Amino acid sequence: MDRKLKNLLLKTALSDTIKGMRRARRIKIWISVIFRTLLVLAGAVAILEQNWMSLAMLFITLFLTFLPSIIEKEFKFDLPSEFEVAILILICGSLYLGEIHAFYYKIWWWDIFLHGFSGITIGAIGFTLIYILNRHTNVAMSLSHTFVAIFAFCFAMSIGALWEIFEYIMDVTFGLNMQKSGLNDTMGDLMITAVCGFFVSVVGYFYMEKDMRPFLRLERKLLRPQTVEVVENQER
């Protein structure tokens, strides 16, 4: 294939990727603003009602919504906007809707949904991170497909375990009931996380074995700085 044609195809593909990333970033910003505005308004209502327990929970929830951005700045890493939106949904779904608005009691499947969703999301994040590092030519790393899949599963389980520890600390410190039925709730949550994390690991393993393309867009997003630099160099 002619070199000019190759460069044109590359430039077109990268330009489309950047447009998609900018669109996803705008959506993420809007969702973040809406969530945080709701939390601030709910905090004002809690102050008027002198409901200090709800106010403390709202403050913790609001802080956690900024956590992905803090991690990105601290470690100089750019997480895809889709993952950030998923994390915001998990935080607000579990703390704001689940605890403050009692969705755990009003909707019987709410806890199952959130832990299943978190298992898939966190597992996908873990898999994508180690997969990209394993493929990147600037990183001296060569891991087997089996190890990458196991890492994704362990990553999901680690975050799930940390969340259960967080629930326990909140219950002991503030007298909440985030663990509901105690050990049974904790083990049930971890099993749901394990099943969903295992599902992501299996899908990721066959993706690497069969060299399928559904994660190509995420690859480009995680390599965003390099992608932008290539396009800008070609436009000069």
Largest CA distance in the chain: 71
- Residue 141 is classified by DSSP as -
CA dihedral for 149, 155, 158, 159, sign (positive or negative): negative
C-beta of residue 147 within 8 angstroms of C-beta of residue 199: no
List the chain pLDDT tens, one digit each, 236 residues: 456 555 555 555 555 556 666 777 888 888 889 999 999 999 999 899 888 888 888 898 889 888 888 877 887 767 778 888 888 899 889 888 988 888 988 998 999 999 999 999 999 888 888 877 776 656 566 778 888 899 999 999 999 999 999 889 988 887 778 887 778 888 999 999 999 999 999 988 888 777 555 555 555 555 444 444 443 444 44
The overall pTM is greater than 0.95:
no
Write down the domain spans for the chain.
3-235
Closest CA to 67 of 56, 55, 79, 52: 79
Rounded to whole angstroms, the Cα distance separating 7 from 63 reads: 44
